[in-house]
Structure 1
Amino acid sequence: MQQYETDHLNLVLDNAAECTVLLKKNGKFPLEKPCKIAAYGSGMRYTIMGGTGSGEVNTRFSYTIEKGLEKEGFEITTKKWLDEYDEVRKTAKKEYYKTLKKEAKKKHENPIMYLMGKELLEPCHGLALDAEGGDVCIYVLSRNSGEGSDRKVVEGDVKLTRSEVRDIIALNKKYDRFMLVLNVGGPVDLTPVMEVGNILILSQLCSDMGKVLSDILTGKQNPSGKLSTTWAAFEEYSAEGTFGDFNDNEYKEGIYVGYRYFDTFGHKALFPFGFGLSYTDFDISFKDAEAKGSVVTLKAVVKNTGSAAGKEVVQAYVTLPEGELPKAYQELAGFAKTGLLAPGKEEEIVISFDLKDLSSYDEKSASYILEKGEYIVRVGNSSANTEVICVAGLDEKVTVLKTKNCLGDPGFKDITAPSFDRGNVPAKAKRILIDAKDFSCGEVSFDREYEIDDKVKELSDEELCYLEIGGFDPNAKGLSIIGNAATHVAGAAGETTSWLENKGIKPLIMADGPAGLRLSLEYYEDEKGAHGVGGAGMIPESMQEAMGPVARFIANLLTGGNKTPKGVIIKEHAATRIPIGTAIAQSFNVEFAESLGDIVGDEMERMGINLWLAPALNIHRSILCGRNFEYYSEDPLVSGLMAAAITRGVQRHKGCGTTIKHYAANNAETNRYCNNSHVSERAMREIYLRGFGICVRLSQPHALMTSYNLLNGTHTAEHRGLIEDVLRCEFGFEGIVMTDWVMSMMDSKNSIYRNSLSNEVAKAGGDLFMPGGKKDYENVLNALKAGTLDRKQLEINASRVIKMAAKLA
């Protein structure tokens, strides 16, 4: 390992417990030291370190939890059970892939694409729990998901299997010191095992999960994460709207997503948003509140009242006044995390937020408004454990920002919440008066002018069209997919055109992987560029495993794979696996998130990558979305702040930028290329776009990726309202806009909507159609010649690409 690898890995390992969430405790942990331990569950040997597809990272090494615990000095007493489980899983997986291939044939779907993202359901079994020795036991329950497929409400996925429930309950009764460890990327329904006294969300963190778990079990690290998504019995989640329909999904729940739904509609969570315990305990006492203009500042003191060092997260929620628009019971307004507090020590926490950021979108006036009345401010350590500490009274209605409705008609009206009790305001609560005259308000200008680069004016129509399309070789065989759409860095996801380097326009090199750079670990170089050894990195490992040897051979040929020549020099670029997006958000620590961005930025700089195709900040609308693991939260504030922190970390490195994605309303994987999300203007602006706006305003990412899906009948990549009016004019975005990796081979015969078209993307102000192919180039050129695409728009798009290439390449 090189020194940078060691440094980066150590930073992740030393802070990973910040991303873990202790759901239940009974005082039996931590342990005094490593010892004999009975360890069960699929996660022991089949440890999930990140979701499938783009979530995969080609690291130098990866240890299972079993190996990691042993490395730290634990003696595993359940080898016989783990060996027997190997056979159970092997048989189940073989049958599972047979079934999937039959399903693909029956549904007339591309078998390779149909397999993408689909994960083996946890198999049931009757293995005996007969380990001997020791009084400590863990059960590591594991779940995986990935891009291309959504989760299911069945045993072995969202629900626990009968054998999991049976074994967890039995072990909890048998062992004095038992912990249920959750190696998952999203919620599972824990209803049947709520009697367990110790439950830890380990999540999916890094390449040595056993080391992190060992540190937590022995108290070297103390869990300090909080839930960024509500955990509940599945039946308690919102059933409003639709999810998983092949062609159309209706977001009828409007703004009532996640805790906004639970709190407003009176549904009960097993573990609410913002919840998380520690090996120690804390007391939060309110100190003061004040307002300057529209900014409210809160001060509180956190004291460690327990016997272990730890960190606490203070959260501020606001209940908006009743008025013209229906509201949620409360919204997260801000949060802050303490440093490591020793027992008996305390720290003053300051949380500031702008009331304008809590404005509601009024579709009638096409504006963000704050209604007259009382804004009740609550402070606590979860959404369900707060107290009212002050009330801010606004003397009259304020129009914060005047804009325009431009996102289309969803075809329905959002649900309206029932009347709810806003809670009692105690007499001791401080009252603050806010004068509407102190607000600075604005109006969006949609007459934005763009400078056209002098180089662009000199380009021919053909050359101009090359800049609109991702780099491709018109004479190449095979297909451009992730890991096979670039020649400068082996395993890179794509790049802009190299055909204009003679005019001083260098290509931008892009790498995928939201949990770290996904590049070929080993590669060689020749006159044609850089190539992964054995085609590594071209097709995600999870897909290769499902294909079988013949399909793998054919797929590698189609995607440009080739045999490594003899005598070439084999080189390496090893990337660091960082925690998945949900785990980063669970830290509620923006400084730590920024340090993770710094890791990625450093490796980008070393390996010649200009744009990282991350972070992804789509909202956890439903726990069933297969790609939620790489998204942050059900809350847009948490999502936006984490994405902005990651971006700052990456972009402090020369020549490096982030690509925030997927813009927008990309909240399911079923038929993801051509699925139509029906969402109201208000819900889009308050929930699904807000995080993007926060990230852009705080960190100005260098690029943004649109999503595959349609929004109210128009592909997001072709949606001028999204790209020009909201993103550029309203949010002030200055970077380049690219599509996700659009390829006709991905299309389903069962979809009623077409895929995105390169000429329509260009017309909407999209700067890059990725990954790019000859047909995509011809579509743009033909539209330009036919007059259906204006050359000036292409010149504007190309100028942005050239400007970014000059800045980064």
Structure 2
Amino acid sequence: MTGSSGLSAATKQTSQKLGEQITGEGIVLLKNEGDALPISTSTKLNVFGWGSTNATFGGTGSGSVDETTAVSLMEGLHNAGFKTNETLTKFYTDYRADRPSVGMMSVDWTVPQPTIEQYDKAGIFENAKEYSDTALVVISRSGGEGMDLPDKYSTESNYNKTQQGSDVVYSTQKDDIDSSKSYLELTNRETQMVGRVTKEFSNVYVVINSASPMELGWLDQYNSIKAAVWCGGASATGFNALGDVLSGTINPSGRLVDTYVYDLRSTPTFNNYGNFTYDNSTEITGSDKNVAKFVNYVEGIYVGYKYYETAAAEGTIDYDKTVQYPFGYGLSYTTFDQKIASFDRSGGKTTVKVKVTNTGDTAGKDVVELYFTPPYYNGGIEKASTNLLDFAKTKELKPGESQTVTISFNDEDLASYDDQNAKAYVLEHGDYTITLNSDSHTVLDSRSFTVGNDVIYDDAHDGKRSTDQVAATNQFDDARGDVTYLSRTDHFANYDEATAAPTNKTMSKDEMAVYTAKSTFDASDYDKGATMPTTGAKNGLTIQDMTGVDYNDAKWDKLLDQLTVDEMTDAVADGGFHMISLKSINSGESVDSDGPAGLSSNFNASMKGTAFPPAVMIASTWNKDLAKQRGKQVGVEGKELGITGWYGPAMNIHRSAFSGRNFEYYSEDGTMSGFMGGEEVAGATEEGMMTYVKHFALNDQETNRTNGLCTWTTEQSIREIYLKAFERAFKDGKSLAVMTSFNSIGARWAGSNSSLLQSVLRDEWGFHGAVETDAMDPLADFYMDLNRGIRTGLTHGLSMTGGDGLIANTDSAGTVTALRKAMHDNLYAVANSTAVHKDASMPVWAKAVIAADVVIALLLVGSEVLAVMRYRERKQAAAVTVNQIGQ
């Protein structure tokens, strides 16, 4: 359908090599007592855990990758030179060969694992001890689109229905069902297996194959567990890198992108994540068939490490008993020394030079992590005590070798958003400390400076931030709702009240007035004073004439005048996985594709790119250059596959460990996500790809995502946590496209939220380009309204059925004006991407179908001719026979 014959051998090789490098640099060394790792390849391994035979490469849904030809975990070990116990491996594959399904249609959370009785009956431990004295335990967890992970491993879970409404299977292994455990703990069978392995073997190593942070306190409960590594996913060849890390061919340099706590049920988000239903739902949606849901982001800005570091600073938690592995944590096979070599400030800009020296005896890479601590005034603007500012990865340093890393930042990068008083970004007066850390908790060096007076970034005071087009001001006051938010005031005095499960489950009349169900839409609210635009003009312009033309150039009006109403209507409504051909301006049909971890098509199995590591693995490299290379390679693959639009990368936040799509998102931190996502977008955009960065915005859980999920939060957290992840994709990455989310921000659907799509995205950030919905799924039909959307910032719908009936009143001046504005943005993206080179005369797929029809017709005609000829031959033969008999 794209005219492509697939990826070239050279491109495949480059992509696979890059994916393997990302996995190698993303694997995190969690534990290494007595330098137990690396292991000599002469060591024979008993590999325990069913996950060893069916490891996860990422997750399911649009972010999944083709695993059919990928290197398996066991193959990765063998390719590194290890020999493994084949009897043990066969025991697992005989037990179960397939991974349980986790998807939008059906969900089975079974963690396959034989019982101890089955191990003993097969003589597995006796066999393993005869094979070697070394055990490698693999613990694997999956996740996927449409379903969050069980907070209780039983029907008592908060998430007990699939997106399609069917029942969830928690485990087909009845002895594993346990409401005292979550899916992110060892199951009962795994606990027994680990206990037995650690008893029988004195040298035990562990691989954690889970994108979501698990409870890993058990790693420190067994003396025989010498070392552990985290590998949240892999590319087509990424498990080769795991083998190389274990053998020492690769020195691990990954760092965690989430905080790992001992008890996931004690996080500030736990009671306010998942399934919450309004008790006046029918009144809200206008139908008892449609159920209105909500979620309260009660933790405010205190997401992940920002809470734990601040709570420790305030003395409200025992950090060491609460946090096992801090954000940014990771070990190495060598040692490094880091120190601030110089710290220079001039004109509101600071330049920090950090000297990194390899003080060990093994070559390796290190990560420079820079954080800042702002002044906090009790009861004032909410601020975390520790905030990631920037980071960099060194080159590979030989023993004794040094490298000086330079990081620069502006004072405005330290500003907080004050949504209560100034309603602007504010750099408050006081002392600011810049810290050089090995992780979010461990300070290696620091410098401080003082800001004498408040700097308020608005027009009335000190002007906008340098990266904004206009000064930011409150846009989401209506998203605050009637919710108590966690505050640092008086040492988090309101913690218990703020983080308790919601008691108010009634939407107010005022909130219902802005709820964006189709039943509340009135075009007259938006179309006052509209005049019918020119359509169908003959100005002689083509889309090719518009490449590089400024968005506000009058030439665009002449091009848009050429479009007919039917063309605009069809283009806006029928936007699923393509942009349609427009003959009036010679714009050919473009092709869009999932997915964030590798280009793939839901409709054409042969149209697939390389399986890359998931975003969480890319982020854990802490290597911006690798992220950009990955983006560029997606663009290169897109050119070869004829794909011009990429539904990715995905930039939502790991608000909770239980999010089903944590594999597809970078981190719990908006700054980390922003830097890495921005680099990926920049790389792909430079290759001409339209990157539909998603899901814009606050789509941080899967549960109820298609129920018009009302997301209540503060403007400060929206800007400092959730939008920060997207911001660099547009300002630095220059993305030409974005995909909106299913959920609502407050009570306004993100796809028709003018504050999000116009005031912030376009006015503040300066974006021009395509803004698409998430899938126009029938489940979300009652509130996802293109008619409202195109009047508030949308440009087209990801329709799964061709878009018929999605746009109404096309004889109205208001509708045609909205369609024209949407097409301006769509065509700006097309003109500046590889889609501009598509032929509008006839799409390749149509030519292929016609060619196939011709071939079939010729075959049919040929068959008919042959049939007639054979009939005549038989008739003539029969006549001869009759004559012979007569004679």
Q: Give the aligned partner of residue 222 of structure 1.
A: 251
SS, match of residue 315 in structure 1: strand
**What does residue 416 of structure 1 align with?**
487
Q: Does 1:351 align with 2:393?
A: no
**Closer, same or farther: CA 260–91 of 1 in aligned 2, 3 Å:** closer
Q: Distance in 2 between matches of 1:455 and 1:124?
A: 66
Among 176, 180, 184, the residue aligned to 1:158: 184
Seen in structure 2, the aligned counterparts of structure 1 residues 40 and 728 have a Cα distance that, compared at 3 Å, is same
Of 184, 190, 193 in structure 1, the residue corresponding to residue 219 of structure 2 is: 193
Residue 248 (structure 1) aligned to one of 288, 294, 298: 294
Question: Residue 378 in 1 paired to residue 435 in 2?
Answer: yes
Do the aligned residues in 2 keep the contact of 1:413 with 1:680 (CA within 8 Å)?
no
* Deviation string, structure 1 residues 178-211 (Cα, Å, up to 9, x no partner): 2100111111111223233311002202123441
Give 1:172 shift. Answer: 3.6
Equivalent position to 2:475, from 406, 416, 428: 406
Bigger radius of gyration among the two:
2
**2-side partners of 1:460 and 1:288: how far apart?**
62
- Please say if residues 225 and 586 of structure 1, whose CA atoms lie closer than 8 Å, have aligned partners that are also in contact: yes
What is the letter of the counterpart of residue 724 of structure 1? Q
Measured in 2, the distance between the counterparts of 1:504 and 1:269 equals 59
1:368 alignment partner, one of 403, 408, 425: 425
Q: 2:559 aligns with which of 455, 464, 467?
A: 455
The residue type paired with residue 660 of structure 2 is G
Report what 1:622 is aligned to. 656
How far has the Cα of 1:626 moved from its partner?
A: 0.3
Matched residues in 1 for 2:818 and 2:608: separation? 40
Within the candidate set 346, 356, 361, 1:307 is matched to: 361
- Tell me by how many angstroms 1:156 deviates: 7.0
Shift of 1:57: 2.1
Question: Corresponding residue for 1:478?
Answer: none
Aligned letter for 2:787?
A: N
Q: Does 1:334 align with 2:403?
A: no
Cα distance in 2 for residues equivalent to 1:225 and 1:118: 31
- The equivalences for 1:563-712 within 5 A come to 572-653=606-687, 655-674=688-707, 675-712=709-746
Q: What are the superposed Cα offsets for residues 315-359 of structure 1, whole Å, 9 maximum, x if unpaired?
A: 111111123312111111111111111112221122222221221
Q: Is 1:506–1:806's contact at 8 Å kept on the other side of the alignment?
A: no
What is the SS of the residue equivalent to 2:649? coil
Counterpart residue number, 2:209: 183
Per-residue Cα deviation, 1:551-602 (whole angstroms, up to 9, x for no partner): xxxxxxxxxxxxxxxxxxxxx5552111110111110000011111122111
Q: 1:769 aligns with which of 790, 797, 804?
A: 797
Change (3 A) 1:173 1:287: farther
Match of 2:329 among 257, 275, 287: 275
1:291 correspondence with 2:363: no
1:259 corresponds in structure 2 to 305
Q: 1:704 to 1:118 in 2, by over 3 A?
A: farther
Name the SS of the counterpart of 2:820 in structure 1. Answer: helix
Contact 1:700/1:735 (<8 A) preserved: no
Q: Against the structure 1 CA distance between its residues 714 and 122, is the aligned structure 2 distance closer, same or farther, given a 3 Å change threshold?
A: farther
In the other structure, the counterpart of 1:45 is 53
Distance 1:210 1:240 in 2: 33
The number of aligned residues is 685
396-405 vs 329-338, greater mean Cα deviation: 396-405
Shift of 1:9: 1.0
SS at match of 1:704: strand
Q: What are the ranges of 5 or more consecutive residues in structure 1 without an aligned counterpart?
A: 101-111, 422-447, 472-484, 486-493, 521-530, 537-571, 748-753
Equivalent pair of 2:22/2:618 in contact (CA under 8 Å):
no
Contact 2:306 2:386 in 1 (8 A): yes
Aligned to 2:19: 12
1:680-732 per-position Cα deviation (integer Å, ceiling 9, x unaligned): 11110111111211221111111111111111001100101100000011111
Q: Are the equivalent residues in 2 in contact too, given 1:187–1:231 (CA < 8 A)?
A: yes
Kept in 2, the 8 Å contact 1:118–1:148? The answer is no
CA separation of 1:786 and 1:124: change in aligned 2, threshold 3 A: farther
The answer (yes or no) to whether the contact 1:29–1:177 under 8 Å persists in 2 is: no
Say which SS state the counterpart of residue 738 (structure 2) adopts.
Answer: strand
Q: Hey, what's the Cα distance between the residues in 1 that align with 2:270 and 2:416?
A: 21
- Relative to structure 1, the CA distance from residue 356 to residue 176 in structure 2 (aligned partners, 3 Å threshold; closer, same or farther) is same
- 1:559 aligns to what? none
C-alpha displacement at 1:90, in angstroms? 6.3
* Equivalent-residue separation in structure 2 for 1:249 and 1:164 (angstroms): 33
SS, match of residue 780 in structure 1: coil
Question: Could you tell me how far apart the structure 1 residues matched to 2:738 and 2:764 are?
Answer: 15
Q: Is the 8 A contact 2:53 2:92 kept in 1?
A: no
**One-letter identity of the residue aligned with 1:255:** I
The answer for unaligned runs of 5 or more in structure 2 is 1-7, 154-180, 277-292, 458-463, 465-470, 493-550, 836-887
CA apart distance, 1:367: 0.7
The separation in 2 between residues aligned to 1:710 and 1:124, in whole angstroms, is: 43
Report the counterpart of residue 83 of structure 1 in structure 2.
Answer: 90
Identify which range, 721-730 or 198-207, moves more after superposition. 198-207
Identity %: 30
Are the aligned partners of 1:228 and 1:585 in contact in 2 as well (CA < 8 Å)? yes
Shift of 1:633: 0.7
Partner secondary structure for residue 609 of structure 1: coil
SS at 1:365 equivalent: coil
Per-residue deviation at 1:389?
Answer: 1.5
Task: Pick closer, same or farther for the CA change 1:10–1:587 going to 2, 3 Å.
Answer: same
